[in-house]
Amino acid sequence: MRRFPPGLRRTLVPLVLALAATLTGVQAAAAAEPVDYVALGDSYAAGVGATPDGTSGACARSTASYPARYAAATGPASFTSVACSGATTAGVLRDQISAVTKDTDLVTITVGGNDTGFAPVLARCTTSPDDAGCDQAVRAGERVARYVLPSALAVVLGAVHLRAPEARVVVLGYPRLFGDGPGCPLNAVRSARLDAGADVLNDRIAETAQRFGATFVDVRPAFGGHGLCSAAPWIVAPGGPGAYHPTAIGYARGYLPVLTAAVERT
């Protein structure tokens, strides 16, 4: 092993330490540099269940949604949310994708629920005279989730990449709406069937996101114990505005922490 003269060691060691400190500072500054952030998606990204602020019309965006909360917590260089209630993958491509530009550094998106019939399936499960009718509706949604949605979502992710090749793309999934507990608004069979359908939807979204280089964020664990059947639900109960969507607490304690952790890892 080569040994340096003491005098040279005394000169080199401070230089090496100074260089290391400089590199660390540069990396930290790069990590902390504000980003240009664009949020895409449907009502779960818009924040329908968290009291819309009234400025986006039928899109029903809320300042308590997870994109708005993330922007408020991190102070991006710019923040644009074009998420809109009722949006499908086709709607994102038609009405929202233009918000993503070459300067965009971070894109978040929640979409796919409306492609698989989120509202009609819930309506059928709520009104069907028997459990078989609910099961039939959920099965139809699962078929779309398995065989149609992956291709449609892939097109959306490809379009994002073409418009912002260097952007980090984070795809956030959906919570199970019901879970366990004594307060279910539907019977146990229908609640469990709808939760199982949500699992199929999330799993297909996760596979597609990962296949196309995006980060998938699974919010189901964060919402565990806070479904509609629980004593402390983070989902808006049926019958009111924003029913079957996360509440403001659901965005703050469910979506926001896992989104923050995911962005820090990417």
Of 231, 263, 236, the closest CA to residue 44 belongs to 236
CA distances from 201 to 65, 173, 266 (A): 21, 8, 24
Active-site residue identified among 65, 81, 230, 245: 245
| C-alpha to C-alpha distance for 255 and 173, rounded to whole angstroms | 9
- Please confirm, yes or no, whether 161 is among the known catalytic residues: no
- The residues facing 37 across adjacent strands are 79, 106
Catalytic residue among 43, 62, 85, 230: 43
98 carries an active-site annotation: no
Instruction: Answer for the pair 148, 88: CB distance below 8 angstroms, yes or no.
Output: no
Under a CB-based contact definition with an 8 Å cutoff, are residues 168 and 107 in contact?
yes
Q: Where are the alpha helices (DSSP H) in the chain?
A: 6-32, 43-46, 66-74, 89-91, 118-127, 131-147, 149-163, 188-211, 248-249, 256-265
Could you list the active site residues? Answer: 43, 245
